[in-house]
Amino acid sequence: MKRRKGIQPISRQTLAVVAIFLAVLSILGIQGPWLAAAVILLALIQLI
């Protein structure tokens, strides 16, 4: 992933990452650790 300068509002790229992340969770059948998932999502959003 290429880093862009400045902070962007939520973009299609970010939404795509979130969608993929949720898809992976559902495929793995993970339904419990939502707190950990939320922390990981926040970390991903910070990186983008």
Q: Which pLDDT tens digit goes with each residue over 1-48?
A: 555 565 556 677 877 887 787 777 777 776 666 667 777 777 777 765
CA–CA dist 44, 29 (Å, integer): 21
- State phi, psi for 20 to the nearest 5 degrees: -65, -45
The domains of the chain are located at 12-47
pTM for this model (two decimals) = 0.41
18 CB neighbour count, 10 Å cutoff: 14
